[in-house]
Amino acid sequence: MKQRDFFKPGRSVAIADKGMAATSHPLATLAALDILRAGGSAVDAAVAAVALQSVIDPLMTGIGGDCFALYCPAGGTPIALNGSGRSPKAANLAYYLERGFTSIPDDSAHAVTIPGAIDAWCRLVASHGALDMARVLAPAIAAAEDGYVVTPRVAHDWERHSERVAKHPESAAYFLPNGRAPAVGARVTNTALAATLRSVARDGRDGFYKGTVAEEIASVLKSLGGLHDEDDFASYNAFETTPISGKYRGRDLFECPPNGQGLAALLITRILDGFDLRDLKLSEADRIHLLAEATKAGYARRDQLISDPQHITFDIDELLSDHSIDAMRREISLERAAPASVWDAPTHKDTVYVSVVDRDGNAVSLINSVFMPFGSGIYAPRSGVLLQNRGAGFVVRQGHANAIGSCKLPFHTIIPAMVMEGGKTQMSFGVMGGQYQACGHAHMLSQIFDRDLDPQQASDQPRSFSFGGRLALEPTIAEEVKSDLDRRGHVTEWADEPIGGAQAIFIDHERGVLLGSSDHRKDGIALGY
């Protein structure tokens, strides 16, 4: 890997030889590191970090959201955990068609699926943890009860998206004190959320899915027209499943299977694997163009096919087969942009991602989200729970695989990832940014394995994203590159905010060291010991 230029602004890759954590918030990283140093496992540390971030970065994630994880024990093979939420039992497609719905409003109770995060965390800790849930949740409980200070990126996003909670009186009363988003350095508490977390620490998943917390959330949603009842909460279960994988530069990229979009990441990387991206003759515009074209091809299949795994009608292995990928690759011209389909569903931009490797070499890649900024904007004040709006990703259309239905999982954008080589975990990583994530996985892999960059350098590189008929470019990309892409037929635009964020931990087995990164586009940091 190339050494960074110390004359240029930036940060060095984190280096350690025992354990490491990488998150998008410094306090979450510190909490994870404390757990590791106290003898906790990678899973204990990851759940401690994401639980804390659910308190201190409330518009990006929370216990009212969902969770996906990949876990790989040292010397083992990865397993996947699906902690995404189901629609209520009463939510059948006919209900919405009869009432004239053409989509699920993203700020309505109908957009709220049963939150899956808490059950996923409890299952992970019970199966792969070394500490009890009370110790794991202690940092989050302390932050909610005693307060925390708002960091710069959190404050920026809170203010930028404050209208999402302003329209809900209970939400506005808590999230917009004195009618405004908290400023950088403001101190915030949430004693109601602390009490809910204490309930989970004491009673496990039942502390959330049964009793007073579930009763209040169901009641709040019913009052807003939702179809939820307490049985929907009590019957919810996250579930373990087998990851899907594909080759990139001789390595195995592992992703969670549908209902997440990990399949799209595999399609994009498999397509790019057929191009020599190490070729020094390729310009920056060439690389951006090829990523954009592979993304279009991968996302077109994604949008048509991905849904609740029980409703999938296609063969994943066939879609990822050589002849299928070759056919997609042949459609790509280096000189001409292909037409792009226009996305007509909600656009998701926000989440948090955590990567942890412990002293034994166990690795976890975990992602947690409330979907849009502040999710649905609906808040259960006695429980301190802000509710996701992942159900806005359902389609209200007869015959579509992702059509809303009873107890159904919607299409999901959040995807953790893991790379293995020679039967060993080589990298635990993830990219935040909603729709961008699958494209972002491919970009990170190419920067590391095609350009020999370390994970921090790879994360620092300028980003682009072809989506919805337009090619967004971060303004750190040169004007002449933009003009070149316009010439090829792309409809380019300068991104109005940073594209995504990323965390990664690379395991150098030969030297026995860990290399970690956390995106400069967020507040976070990677630290090890």
Residue numbers annotated as active site: 351
State the DSSP string of 165-178. Answer: HHTSHHHHHHHSGG
Distance of CA 416 to CAs 5, 31, 248, 489, Å?
30, 20, 17, 32
CA–CA distance, 68 with 367 (Å, rounded to integer)? 6
Q: Please, are residues 105 and 392 in contact by the beta-carbon 8 Å criterion?
A: yes
Exposure string (b/e) for 355-392, b if CB count within 10 Å is 16 or more?
Answer: bbbbbebbbbbbbbbbbbbbbbbbbbebbbbbbbbbbb
Nearest to 517 by CA among 6, 11, 30: 11
Phi, psi for 91 (deg, rounded to 5): -85, 80
Largest interatomic CA distance in the chain:
63
CA–CA distance, 414 with 404 (Å, rounded to integer)? 19
Angle between helices 437-449 and 262-272 (to 10 degrees): 40
**Rg of the chain taking only CA atoms, in angstroms:** 22
